[in-house]
């Protein structure tokens, strides 16, 4: 639109993305610990977390393909898919990433300080969710 009248939602502030990511990372890690997980780098740990959180998952094998996907359905919730062609630690990171996408879909807006809303964006909403998910991955798997 060029007439200047098109409505644009506000950008999601970086602080909201960080707050979202920290809440999600803390919840995922707590869930893994409650399940008695001994190895956060194991895909099996995150499969148990997915079960606990009610997120359906499946795997596929596609060398060179995407690491994972998350799909959301208003009635059936989230389902994630993980590519088993990657090494186990990368698969574990992909579970964390896709579970973070699922978390943004399902839990976040009412829980944030000041009712900040990650769906208030000036960008592709998938892009904002992805920024949150990347940050969650960094928090759970800090670079050495
Ligand atoms: Zn993503």
CATH number at residue 109: 1.10.10
Q: What average pLDDT score do residues 108-121 get?
A: 47
Beta bridge partners of 70: 80
Q: What average pLDDT score do residues 108-130 get?
A: 54
Residue 118 lies in a domain: yes
pLDDT in tens, 81-108: 999 999 999 999 999 999 998 888 776 5
Position 2 pLDDT exceeds 90? no
Residue 30 lies in a domain: yes
Residues surrounding ion ligand 1 at CB below 5 Å: 130, 133
How far apart are the C-alpha atoms of 49 and 83, rounded to whole Å?
A: 17
Residue 4 lies in a domain: no
Residue 127 lies in a domain: yes
Look up the domain containing 131 and give its range: 14-140
Residue 120 lies in a domain: yes
Query: 46: CA distance to ligand 1 center in Å?
Result: 16
Residue 86 lies in a domain: yes
Q: What is the pLDDT of residue 5?
A: 55
Say what the pTM is.
0.82
Q: How far is CA 30 from CA 8, 27, 39, 58, 112, in A?
A: 37, 5, 13, 23, 18
Q: Which helix (H) or strand (E) holds 94?
A: helix 88-106
Rg (CA), the chain: 16
Query: 107: CA distance to ligand 1 center in Å?
Result: 17
Residue 9 lies in a domain: no
Q: What is the pLDDT of residue 100?
A: 93
Nearest to 63 by CA among 90, 44, 36: 90
DSSP assignment letter at 80: E
Nearest to 46 by CA among 67, 20, 22: 67
Local confidence band at 120 (pLDDT 50, 70, 90 cut-offs):
very low
- Identify which has the larger pLDDT, 131 or 63: 63
Residue 1 lies in a domain: no
| Residue pair 104/127 in contact by the 8 Å Cβ criterion | no
Give the chain's domain count.
Answer: 1
């Amino acid at each position: 639109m060029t007439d200047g009248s098109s409505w644009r939602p506000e950008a999601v502030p970086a602080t909201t993305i960080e707050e979202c990511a920290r809440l999600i990372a803390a919840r995922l890690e707590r869930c893994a610990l409650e399940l008695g997980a001994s190895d956060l780098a194991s895909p099996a740990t995150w499969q148990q977390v997915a079960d606990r959180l009610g997120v359906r998952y499946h795997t596929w094998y596609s060398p060179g393909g995407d690491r994972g996907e998350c799909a959301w359905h208003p009635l059936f919730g989230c389902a994630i898919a993980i590519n088993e062609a990657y090494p186990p630690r990368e698969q574990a990171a992909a579970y964390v990433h896709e579970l973070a996408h699922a978390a943004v879909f399902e839990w976040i807006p009412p829980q944030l300080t000041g009712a900040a809303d990650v769906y208030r964006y000036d960008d592709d909403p998938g892009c904002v969710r992805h920024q949150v998910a990347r940050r969650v991955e960094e928090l759970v798997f800090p670079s050495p």
